[in-house]
Chain A
Amino acid sequence: MTSHDIAFVATGVLALVGGLLAITTRQVVHAALWLIVALLGVAGSVLVLGAELVSLVLVLVYVGAVVVLVLFALMVTRAPIGPDRQHAVGWVRRLAAGGAGAAVTALLLVVLVPLAGDWPGRQVRVAPIDSSAVASDLFGTWVWPFEAVSVLLLVALVAALAVSRVGAPAAYRRKP
């Protein structure tokens, strides 16, 4: 049990508790806020694993952009401030969904645990990856996938704008 193990367990427990509260809370805004906690836990785990650039991008993109976008969408769709009684689900559905999640977890554990090998098992080597090496790799070997991803982002932006204008009030639409 090294100090890396302890740090990873701490951030992992933070991520799992945040995720559990994000999917079980009855208040929609709290769900988005608990998602921030879960994603910060994931970012901490990735940081402990040594991928510091991925961790920073995770915080910037997920916590900074995606969760804010989710909060904006909740505001646009007039989500209630208190408990969301309009979309309440019964305990049968909660139990069934929890059972399905547990089954997926069990299946993945059965598949993935043999990757760790027999006890004492394999170790993940933790050595910080040099960001300049990542940059030269990103703009050298992976430059065409990088450009394709930027085109994909542009297409997603334009498509989101076009789709969200469907059904808009007539004052916002262009005359045909």
Chain B
Amino acid sequence: MIHALLPIALATGLVGLGVAGVLMRRNAILVLVGVELILSGALVLLVASGSLGGARYSVNSVLPLFVITIAAAETVVALAVIVAAFRARGRIDLDDPAPVPEPVPDPGQHSTNRWIVDTEPGQHSTNRWIVDTEPGQQSGVPTAGERP
């Protein structure tokens, strides 16, 4: 016999530690450590409350197995996303501002050499020309003021 306060205290303590860890960490992988602590707290409470009523059904062991499996799947996908973000941005700092997306040239309508030319240099004019140069034409950068 175990007093019912002990599993409740352990579960709440683990969940509190996990929440503190999620909020404290800036490294994206270490946030997952906090998530694991929260999930294990929930697991302790699930197992304990299953036998709190006095009945010992074997289903009390089946549902925690499902919880463990789903938590493992979630961790796998989260780590894959973090690794992909590291490849794209070079860092996994959660405090970083979101990067400005670069304009993607569409290969269907324009060639890949694409320049945006201000026709009146020195001031921000509204006359902007988007100049497509041919792929073989290497000196295709128009000087400002020259209408293509």
- Nearest residue (CB) in B for A137 is B58
Give the interface segment out of B22-30, B110-118, B121-129, B132-140.
Answer: B22-30
Question: A122–B52 contact, CB under 8 A?
Answer: yes
Number of chain A interface residues as a range: 35 or more
A163 to B86, CA, bound (A): 12
Query: Residues of A contacting B11 with CB < 8 Å?
Result: 108, 112
Known: A23-B34, A50-B51, A159-B77. A167 touches B88 (CB 8 A): yes
Across the interface, do A156 and B20 meet the contact criterion of CB distance under 8 Å? no
B23 to chain A, nearest CB (A): 4
Assess whether B18 is in contact with A19, with CB atoms less than 8 Å apart.
yes
Q: Which of A77, A102, A125, A136 contacts B82 (CB 8 A)?
A: A77
Which residue of A is nearest B58, CB measured?
A133
Interface size class of B (residues with CB under 8 A): 35 or more
Top 9 A-B residue pairs of the complex, sorted by shortest distance between their CB atoms: A101-B20, A105-B16, A23-B21, A160-B80, A156-B73, A167-B87, A97-B23, A97-B24, A116-B4
- Pull 13 A–B residue pairs with CB atoms less than 8 Å apart, ordered by A: A28-B29, A42-B40, A62-B36, A70-B33, A70-B79, A93-B23, A101-B16, A101-B21, A104-B19, A123-B2, A124-B51, A125-B51, A157-B76
Q: Which residues of A contact B (CB under 8 A)?
A: 2, 4-5, 8-9, 12, 15-16, 19-20, 22-24, 28, 31-32, 35, 38-39, 42, 45-46, 48-51, 53-54, 57-58, 61-62, 65-66, 69-70, 73-74, 76-77, 79, 84, 86-89, 93-94, 96-98, 100-102, 104-105, 108-109, 112-113, 115-117, 120-127, 129-130, 133-134, 136-138, 141-142, 145, 149, 152-153, 155-157, 159-161, 163-168
